[in-house]
Amino acid sequence: MLVLALAMPWWRVIDRDDDTGARATFGLAGGEQCVGASTVTCKEVALDGRPGARDDLFAWAARSTLALAVVAAALAVTLAFAGGKRRPPLRAAVAIAAGTTAAAAAATVAIERLPASYGTPSLGAGLWLALLGCALLTAGAAWPIGPGDARAPLRRWGLAAAAAVLVLVAWVTLAQRGWWHGDVEFGERSRSPLGFEVCDLGTCARFGNGAAALRSLFLLGLVAATAAATAAIAAGLVVRAISGVAVRGWATATLAAAGTTLAAAVAALAAVPSRDTHLGLGAWLFVGAIAALAGVAIAALRALPGAAAADDATAPARWGAAPAGPKPVLAPLGGAALASPAPPPAAPTAPPAIAAYAPALSPAPPSLHRPAVAPAPLAPRPSPYCPTCRVATLWHAKRAAWWCSTCKRTL
């Protein structure tokens, strides 16, 4: 869609008052002017008029939109070959590029400054293809990887449909130039941030805001840019609301974009001169649709069951967060050791391993009434032999057994 938007003309100029068949088409990089009905002669023209700040601003805005569209398309191809992984940095880059490209495209159309010598320009299909491509980009960046949340299907689909319808209503008011209305000599004149529409004796012509004052041009371009960015971000909210997974980030972004758009629209309605005109139904519909879109974003934050879940795994617990429920009461340190009585001393273990030496090696029972008499020294006796290597063993006091130093084992 973005490549097609770059190839299609954004403005068409047809001089209806001239019988020479003069016509011109303009894109973001330039255009061509053709003259002649039977023998057509065309020449290349650039997006610049008389030297001045507004002409240069329009030319550089078109070039910036062209560069942003190329970058967004390249990021989209990279995301398509990401192998089905989550890749949050790449998805965030695609979403930011899509929103920025949509805002730049709408702002370029709002500050259109084509030379008047070519005729009356009318908007072509380039802007609508660019907006549709940016919406598809954000939908692809928001597409979940893991399984969706099957709870509350009516609520999820209802919020998604409400967001899509509100964005469509807001952009219909912009496209129909229904914000301000005024009467001319034989017809009617209407206006919106995208330009003017003059209907005279049943013939209507649409053109941009190139002749407006610099302050009005800035405010109208700001409204168009924020409305386009809101539409692109809302496409991601629609996808996440349908799946019911990780809606929080997209709902917050939609709420912020809708609030910025609403503030820009109110500033434009208050500051743009409206002499001999009155506010039409389109302005109130736009303000109401954007305010309702902000309400839908808040409802998505509160009502959707999977708003806080990740798109491929369960949400990790926040570091340092206290567990739910009453606070546990821990026992004092050493309390169990102080409460329980000390275990009785273990009885000494008889060291001999051979029955013949048991009477001589066993300790005498202690006496309770008189001090124990020291045992008589043992007569020197030979140590037992190891049954494996037939070597004399030694008594090992720590192991309380006879120890063979050759086999490295006890008997």
Residue 180: which residues within 8 A CB-CB, separation 6 or more?
190, 191, 192, 274, 277, 278, 279, 280, 283
Is residue 317 very low, low, confident or very high in pLDDT (cuts 50, 70, 90)? very low
Q: How far is CA 52 from the centre of its chain?
A: 39
Per the structure, the complete domain to which residue 389 belongs is given by 383-411
Q: How many structural domains are present in the chain?
A: 2
In this predicted model, what pLDDT tens digit does every residue of 164-179 receive, in sequence order? Answer: 999 999 999 988 888 8
Sheet holding 180-183, edge to edge: 203-207, 195-200, 187-192, 180-183, 277-279
Tell me: do 48 and 196 sit in the same domain.
yes
Residue 151: which residues within 8 A CB-CB, separation 6 or more?
244, 305, 306
Check residue 316 and give its pLDDT. Answer: 45
Tell me: do 297 and 402 sit in the same domain.
no
Helix (H, G, I), strand (E, B) or coil at 101: helix
In whole angstroms, how far apart are CA 143 and each of 62, 119, 139, 242, 246?
30, 44, 6, 10, 10
With respect to residue 229, please indicate whether it lies within any of the assigned structural domains: yes
Alpha helices, DSSP H, located in 17-148: 53-80, 88-110, 126-142
Tell me: do 398 and 277 sit in the same domain.
no
Residue at which a domain ends, from 303, 336, 358: 303
Residue 267 pLDDT > 50, yes or no? yes
Residue 308 pLDDT > 80, yes or no? no
Residue 44 pLDDT > 60, yes or no? yes
Tell me: do 402 and 291 sit in the same domain.
no
With respect to residue 342, please indicate whether it lies within any of the assigned structural domains: no
Residue 48 pLDDT > 90, yes or no? no
Contact (Cβ atoms closer than 8 angstroms) between residue 102 and residue 141: no
Tell me: do 226 and 99 sit in the same domain.
yes
**Mean pLDDT for the chain overall:** 78
With respect to residue 370, please indicate whether it lies within any of the assigned structural domains: no
Check residue 43 and give its pLDDT. Answer: 79
Tell me: do 244 and 389 sit in the same domain.
no
With respect to residue 252, please indicate whether it lies within any of the assigned structural domains: yes
Higher per-residue confidence, 154 vs 387: 154
Tell me: do 401 and 288 sit in the same domain.
no
Burial class (CB within 10 angstroms; exposed 0-12, middle 13-18, buried 19+) of 87: middle
Check residue 360 and give its pLDDT. Answer: 54
In this predicted model, what pLDDT tens digit does every residue of 319-370 receive, in sequence order? Answer: 445 555 566 565 666 555 555 666 676 666 655 555 555 555 555 555 555 6
Check residue 228 and give its pLDDT. Answer: 93
Number of Cβ atoms within 10 Å of the Cβ of 399: 10
Contact (Cβ atoms closer than 8 angstroms) between residue 32 and residue 25: yes
Residue 214 pLDDT > 60, yes or no? yes
Tell me: do 111 and 253 sit in the same domain.
yes
